[in-house]
Structure formats: C-alpha cells, structure tokens
Amino acid sequence: MDCTAAGVAPRVDFALVGHPESWKAAADVFSALRGPDRIPLPDDELKDILPWIPPRAVCRVDVKSIADAEAHGLYIDSFIPPDRLDAACVRENLTRVRAAAAYAIKAGARIVSLGGFSSILIEGNFDQLPPRRSTIFTTGNTLTVAFIVQGIEKMCAQEGRSLRRSTLLVVGATGDVGSGCVRCLAPKVRRVLLHARNVERLRRLAAELEAEGVDVEIGTDLGSFSEEADVVVCAASLPSPSLLLGRVAPDALVCDAGYPKNLSPDAATSRATVFFGGLGQMTGGLKFDPDLQGILNRHPFPDVVHGCLLEGIALTLEGRFESFSRGRGAITPPHVMEIETIAARHGIVLAPFFNAAGPVTLQ
C-alpha cells in the first residue's frame, strides 16, 4: 500500500465506480467489513441500510504493471441497490452515479472508469457528470469489447470451431459494447444476426455492415431469425436465459457479456459452452485495502476484474489520462486494438474462462 506521511491523503491516480452486482455480493462486502467477530448483517437489515449509504470509497486499490509502472486508486461504490437497476429507478440511480463521480473528483482522481450500469446510465453524455477541472471519465467499454472479442476467438480456437464459418448472434447489438463487438467480429464470421429493441438503430448498424459486404439479418424478436446461431454474444442481460432456448444451435458458444451476468449454463443451454466475457486479469499485481480480494471481484480466478474498470487502470499505468471510451456506439476495431495493446503492455490480459458454475473446461 502507498504509505504516505501521517495525515497526508494518499495519492489517487484513478477511481473505479461500481455498484453491487447482487445482494449476495453486497452482503459479502459488509460481512468482510464487519470482521469475523461480528455476526453478518441479516439480509433484511442490509436491504434497509444499504440504500441510505452515500456513494463512497469501499477500498483503496494498488496496481502494478509488468512494465514496472504502478498506480494507486479507489474503488467507489454508488450503492445502487441490486434490485433497483430497472428503468423505473433511472433518475435516482443517475443521482447516485453523479455523487460517486463527485466523490472521485474530490478525491483527486485523474481518471475514472464508470463500471457496470454507471456508464449505461450516463449514456456517453459526460456533461451529466459534475463539473471537474482535471478529472477524466471513460466508460471503459473499449477494453470490455476487446476481452469479449479475444474470448470468442480464443474459445473458438480451443474448441476447434471455425469462426469464419460461424453464424454470429449479438444480443444487445446496438448498445455501446454490442455495436463494438459487432464491428470487430462481423468481418470474421460467415453471417451476422443482430438483435436489439430499437429497430431504427438496428437498421443503421446493418446498413453500416452491409456497406462493408457483411451478410446481416436484424430482429427485435429472438424467434424471428431465419437460422440458428452457433456463436452468441449477449451484450445485454436477457430478461430470462430461457429466451435463448431453441434460438441458437444446441452446441453453440455463448459469451455472457451482459451486466449483471445471468446466463446459467444448465438453465438455457445444456450442451452449449457458456462463458463470462469482458473480463481481464491483472498479472502485475492487484491489492485492495481493506483486503476485499475475491469479495469485490467474486470470480474463481485471482485478480480478475471487469474490462470496463481495467481500462481506467491501463490508461493510468500508460500515463494516458484521456476519455478513451465516450459511449454512444463509437467503438471501432482500431480503438479496440489500441487499448488491448496498452493493456497487454502492463500485464492486463484476458481472464481465464469461467461461468456461474466455475471454471470452464474444454469438453
């Protein structure tokens, strides 16, 4: 940890803004903070208390690069209650994200990654964030896209699948992450199926791809596509994993890149290979103070973090304090290549494969 002189606030290079993925995740953090001598907060008490907590740092984060750079930051939780992520709470949640951003600015962070729903709420409109002098914001979505694309390619290679002969379905295709994945993967597959709720946006994206010679089909209903997909990227959380049943090939490769992740491999797609996408691993070093390792980042492998948060860390280690990802569907293959090169230089690499059941082993 960065031990500074007594009373001097430690340096804050970066801030990562997130929120609890589930009540279980929130309960685990509170249990850790309460310590082993106190009984865990009962669920009903946690649900009563958490919504009142003003956005604040949960822990300090120290990272080391394999290129000998190091940086110090904060993980800031907006404390959006996990059961209030829906559209009815947008205004309230936006207020929380703004307060979390204000906290990061006050702490002196030079760059802030907006993780999970935070960037979705801001929708690329950084003008919604509080006034700041020198703090830069990034959605972090470009590195998320990079890890999704890397995951698909690596998994295809490991399973002996031909990506080139695949039909790719992207769910949530017109969002920032979804459209970035489409632009990166479409030229590498046989056919592309684009699914989203907004038909106008689907048409615009399809036209862009068709101009590049890509074979595209669009649909707002998963059941409307003329063929099954064998490679699937879920860039948006599905209301129910069962929606994929019968819509994709039984042995499809499914990347769950939504947030929160909810595609259980045994619920919808028993023969499919389902893995969580968009995650990276810090190989140089990652420390939390207080030590919430494995609690804040609840993954079966160490030092695994969402790509959106890692983007801010990568840019800090590189000394590039800029709004690399600004949202609004502007992620292009050259951007993706640039951020994955930066990340790799500092030892930030694709995370090992896993899903809700644990590590994914090749069949």
Contact between 49 and other proteins by CB under 8 A: the answer reads yes
Distance of CA 86 to the CA centre of its chain: 18
Minimal distance in Å, beta carbon 295 to other proteins?
A: 13
Contact between 41 and other proteins by CB under 8 A: the answer reads yes
Q: How far apart are CA 30 and CA 21, in angstroms?
A: 14
Contact between 7 and other proteins by CB under 8 A: the answer reads yes
Judge contact between 295 and 29, C-beta under 8 A: yes
Minimal distance in Å, beta carbon 57 to other proteins?
A: 4
Closest CB to other proteins among residues 6, 88 = 6
Strands of the chain, DSSP E: 14-18, 56-64, 70-77, 111-114, 136-138, 167-171, 191-195, 216-219, 229-234, 248-256, 273-276, 279-282, 286-289, 304-306, 348-350, 354-355, 358-359
Q: What is the DSSP string of 219-284?
A: ESSGGG-SS-EEEEEE-S--S-GGGGTTTEEEEEEEEE-SSS----TTTT-SSSEEEE-SEEEESS
Contact between 169 and other proteins by CB under 8 A: the answer reads no
Q: Which stretch binds other proteins (CB under 8 A): 45-53, 193-201, 243-251, 321-329?
A: 45-53
Q: What is the DSSP string of 170-203?
A: EETTTSHHHHHHHHHHGGGSSEEEEE-S-HHHHH
Considering only 2, 11, 25, 60, the residue that binds other proteins (CB under 8 A) is 60
- The tokens 């069949």 sit on which residue? 363
Q: Within positions 63 to 102, which residues make up the interface with other proteins, using CB under 8 A?
A: 74, 76
Q: Within positions 100 to 139, which residues make up the interface with other proteins, using CB under 8 A?
A: 103
Contact between 45 and other proteins by CB under 8 A: the answer reads yes
Q: Which stretch binds other proteins (CB under 8 A): 43-51, 139-147, 160-168, 223-231?
A: 43-51
Closest CB to other proteins among residues 167, 297 = 297
Minimal distance in Å, beta carbon 308 to other proteins?
A: 21
Q: By three-state DSSP, how is residue 321 classified? A: coil
Contact between 59 and other proteins by CB under 8 A: the answer reads yes
Contact between 215 and other proteins by CB under 8 A: the answer reads no
Q: Which residues bind other proteins (CB under 8 A)?
A: 6-7, 9, 30, 33-35, 38, 41-42, 45, 48-49, 51-54, 56-60, 74, 76, 103, 289-290
